[in-house]
């Protein structure tokens, strides 16, 4: 087979396998699509397919076969981060803002504190979790971020599948996840700025470039776009072309500034006018989620190493899963209860906010590329993200006991 035929065989497996499993194997009623896509990426990686059929895996996904997929992976994750920014732009000001902020703060603070404490203990105990550039302090911060993540787009999909989008619980969950996402991206930006250079001088240069990039996007591009779209309502094709140009240009400038291209995509979503956010998202989201994102999950799966001979990855996954679920449940349910919600509804809100999905995979990829976490930590935390996302719906149904509608 030549390179072109191999590419289309790769694409067929990467795109069709998770969707067919999700729709045809009855998983749709239990798990969100993104969880099955992450699982498929791991299955197609060296830990499963590579172990069962090493020659076939090398022929399809060996190192010499991967360059043709790199561009699709970068485009997929950048578009996803743009869609995440659009989700935040769509979110209206909540009527009960005080309760929303209290619950959101708890949903971040409790799992972050527990995760950071566990991360510090892991490094001091000699676990091979920190990357080459990470001190125990920075790995602890990274661990806290990973356990605190809630993926707003994945939560939105889960609520639609459970028919909870229009309920009080569903709306509150979306608002809390929006605040959570904003804080996670802020923390991640600070981490990238800290590790943008090897010394203080280069770090200051990266910070200055990042500041100039953000100032340009928010002070120049954002009002210019708003003015342009107010003057004329473009047809769908032109609007889509404008959005894609913005995403690609922002990712390019973000990379030049010393930030990751995922930040460029996210910032593009934040500067896009709110009045056109839903229209663009509805055009881009189906293709991005079903066609492009599986290539990014494949990239994550290829970097995941799971072996029963070395159980460290499984120990990291188990410990971080317990911390993520416990911290998120306690951090959400207690302030929700103080806000006047019943115990069943408060616990259900905590379980819904367990969805980590792609946001967690993006965060892990950025942290691994920045050499803040090791490959073992990446693999273990990826398994944690997969497990917490897959458990969100069953746990919600368990604690709610049919009282959600």
pLDDT digits (tens, 9 = 90+) for 39-80: 888 888 888 888 889 888 888 887 777 666 777 888 888 898
Separation of alpha carbons 228 and 234, rounded Å: 10
Sorted by where each begins, the domain ranges of the chain are 3-400
Closest CA to 296 of 85, 74, 79: 74
Interval 165-169 mean pLDDT = 79
Interval 243-262 mean pLDDT = 88
How far apart, in Å, are the Cα atoms of 327 and each of 65, 107, 121, 154, 353?
A: 41, 8, 17, 20, 11
| pLDDT at 127 (0 to 100) | 92
Separation of alpha carbons 71 and 66, rounded Å: 10
Cβ atoms of 297 and 13 within 8 Å: the answer is no
Q: How sure is the predictor about 111, in pLDDT bands with cuts at 50, 70 and 90?
A: very high
- Rg of the chain in Å (alpha carbons): 21
> Which is more confidently placed, 19 or 233?
19
| pLDDT at 198 (0 to 100) | 47
The pLDDT of residue 356 is above 50: yes
Please tell me whether residue 310 adopts helix, strand or coil conformation.
strand
**pLDDT tens for each residue of 359-397:** 888 889 888 888 899 999 999 999 999 899 888 888 888
What fold does the segment set 3-400 form as a domain?
Na+/H+ antiporter like fold (1.20.1530)
Which of the residue ranges 54-58, 111-115, 192-196, 349-353 would you say has the lowest mean pLDDT? 192-196
Interval 19-24 mean pLDDT = 82
Q: How sure is the predictor about 184, in pLDDT bands with cuts at 50, 70 and 90?
A: confident
């Amino acid at each position: 087979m030549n390179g072109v035929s191999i590419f289309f065989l790769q694409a067929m497996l990467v795109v069709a396998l998770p969707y067919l499993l999700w729709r045809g194997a009855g998983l749709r009623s239990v798990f969100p699509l993104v969880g099955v896509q992450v699982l498929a990426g791991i299955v197609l990686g060296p830990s499963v397919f590579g172990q069962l059929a090493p020659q076939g895996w090398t022929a399809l996904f060996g190192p010499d076969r991967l360059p043709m997929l790199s561009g699709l992976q970068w485009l997929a994750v950048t578009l996803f981060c743009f869609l995440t920014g659009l989700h935040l732009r769509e979110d209206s000001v909540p009527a009960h803002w005080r309760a929303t902020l209290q619950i959101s703060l708890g949903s971040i603070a409790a799992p972050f504190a527990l995760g950071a404490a566990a991360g510090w203990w892991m490094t001091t105990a000699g676990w091979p979790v920190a990357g080459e550039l990470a001190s125990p302090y920075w790995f602890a911060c990274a661990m806290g971020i990973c356990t605190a993540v809630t993926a707003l787009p994945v939560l939105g999909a889960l609520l639609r599948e459970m028919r909870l989008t229009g309920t009080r619980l569903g709306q509150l969950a979306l608002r809390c996840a929006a605040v959570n996402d904003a804080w996670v991206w802020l923390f991640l930006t600070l981490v990238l700025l800290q590790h943008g250079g090897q010394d203080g001088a280069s770090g200051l240069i990266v910070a200055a470039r990042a500041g100039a990039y953000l100032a340009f996007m928010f002070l120049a591009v954002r009002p210019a776009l708003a003015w342009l779209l107010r003057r004329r309502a473009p047809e769908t094709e032109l609007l889509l072309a404008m959005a894609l140009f913005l995403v690609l240009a922002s990712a390019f400038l973000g990379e030049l500034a010393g930030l990751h291209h995922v930040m460029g995509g996210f910032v593009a979503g934040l500067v896009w006018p709110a009045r056109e956010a839903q229209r663009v998202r509805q055009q881009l989201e189906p293709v991005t989620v079903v066609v492009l994102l599986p290539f990014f999950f494949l990239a994550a799966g290829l970097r995941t190493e799971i072996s029963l001979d070395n159980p460290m990855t499984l120990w990291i996954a188990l410990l971080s899963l317990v911390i993520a679920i416990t911290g998120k449940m306690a951090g959400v349910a207690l302030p929700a209860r103080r806000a006047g919600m019943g115990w069943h509804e408060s616990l259900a809100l905590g379980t819904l906010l367990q969805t980590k999905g792609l946001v967690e995979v993006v965060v892990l990829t950025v942290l691994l590329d920045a050499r803040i976490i090791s490959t073992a930590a990446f693999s273990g935390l990826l398994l944690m993200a997969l497990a917490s996302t897959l458990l969100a719906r069953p746990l919600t149904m368990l604690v709610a006991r049919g009282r959600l509608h």
